[in-house]
């Protein structure tokens, strides 16, 4: 049995930002008398509202606060979309100026040397890549934590791997890619990801991508 609703948010068609619910959560969602209760005791009813738009982290937090039967329907209208392509100085400037959240038409890092951690941090805002992710023969990083906000890589037209990584001499870890969701037509893609490194990626890191069909290879440096 669902507890009495403490807050009902319904049919506010111009509503765009509900991040304030997170600050209210301690008092409304889990008051003392509901501590330890299951999810069906949540007390916010949410239905038929406007073009609500937040980044992925905020979205995930908000969805946990509302009744499971009334999930928040989000829009992408406020998320910054940018053209993808091959990373160069001009592309880095675009990331800096526009703080891109969705990259369209794929992203390729090839034959590029990152001079500083500040350049890598420019990728922190990217949440979704529409198209494939390719990282080849590039330096200046030992892991992929500069993609810390990446949630999904999506391409329903592709017949080649969504992720292709090879010949990056300093790369020893693929975090956080194992947590990234790969969305594609499964019958059209043999290898969803092909990741080649010069040292073995540990089993814990490999697991998330192997479960989605990724292939890992270790090569000897020439």
User: How many H-runs (helices) and E-runs (strands) does the chain carry?
Assistant: 5, 11
Give this prediction's pTM: 0.74
How many Å apart are CA 140 and CA 111, to the nearest integer? 11
Q: What does the pLDDT look like over 52-66, one tens digit per residue?
A: 888 877 888 888 777
Residue range 142-151: average pLDDT? 95
Domains along the sequence of the chain with CATH: 7-63 (no CATH), 81-218 (3.80.20.20)
pLDDT at residue 56, as a whole number: 77
Torsion, Cα 120 125 130 134, to 10 degrees, reads 10
Please give the C-alpha separations between residue 66 and each of 13, 24, 201, in angstroms, as whole numbers: 18, 12, 38
Identity of the highest mean pLDDT range in 3-7, 73-77, 81-85: 81-85
pLDDT at 11 over 60: yes
What pLDDT does residue 110 have?
A: 98
Q: Per-residue confidence at 35, pLDDT binned at 50, 70, 90?
A: very low
> In this structure, what token pair is assigned to residue 141?
């990083």
Q: What is the DSSP letter of 107?
A: E
What's the mean per-residue pLDDT of the chain? Answer: 86
- Cβ proximity of 194 and 206 under 8 Å: no
Q: Which residues pair with 135 in a beta bridge?
A: 109, 165
- Residues 112-135: pLDDT tens digits? 999 999 999 999 999 999 999 999
Tell me how far CA of residue 184 lies from CA of 153, 161, 162, 215, in angstroms.
9, 10, 8, 16
pLDDT above 90 covers what percent of the chain? 52
Range among 4-18, 19-33, 41-55, 178-192 rated most confident: 178-192
Is the model's pLDDT at 29 over the cut of 60? no
Contact 87, 72 (CB under 8 A): no
Q: Determine how many CB atoms are found less than 10 A away from the CB of residue 126.
A: 24
214: three-class secondary structure by DSSP? strand
């Amino acid at each position: 049995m669902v507890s009495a609703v403490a807050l009902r948010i319904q049919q506010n068609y111009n509503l765009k930002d509900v991040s304030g619910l997170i600050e209210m959560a301690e008092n409304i969602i889990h008051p003392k008398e509901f501590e330890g209760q299951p999810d069906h005791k949540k007390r916010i009813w949410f239905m038929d509202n406007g073009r609500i738009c937040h980044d992925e982290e905020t979205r995930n937090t908000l969805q946990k606060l509302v009744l499971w039967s009334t999930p928040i329907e989000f829009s992408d209208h406020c998320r910054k979309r940018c053209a993808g392509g091959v990373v160069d100085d001009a592309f880095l400037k675009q990331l800096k100026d526009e703080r891109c959240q969705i990259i369209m038409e794929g992203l390729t890092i090839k034959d590029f040397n990152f001079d500083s951690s500040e350049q890598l941090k420019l990728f922190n805002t990217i949440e979704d890549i529409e198209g494939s992710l390719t990282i080849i023969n590039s330096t200046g990083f030992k892991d992929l934590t500069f993609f810390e906000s990446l949630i999904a890589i999506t391409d329903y037209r592709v017949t080649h791997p969504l992720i292709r990584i090879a010949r990056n001499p300093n790369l020893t870890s693929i975090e956080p890619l194992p947590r990234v969701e790969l969305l594609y037509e499964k019958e059209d893609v043999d290898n969803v990801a092909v990741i080649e490194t010069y040292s073995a990626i540990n089993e814990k890191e490999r697991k998330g991508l192997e479960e989605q069909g990724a292939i890992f290879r270790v090569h000897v440096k020439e």
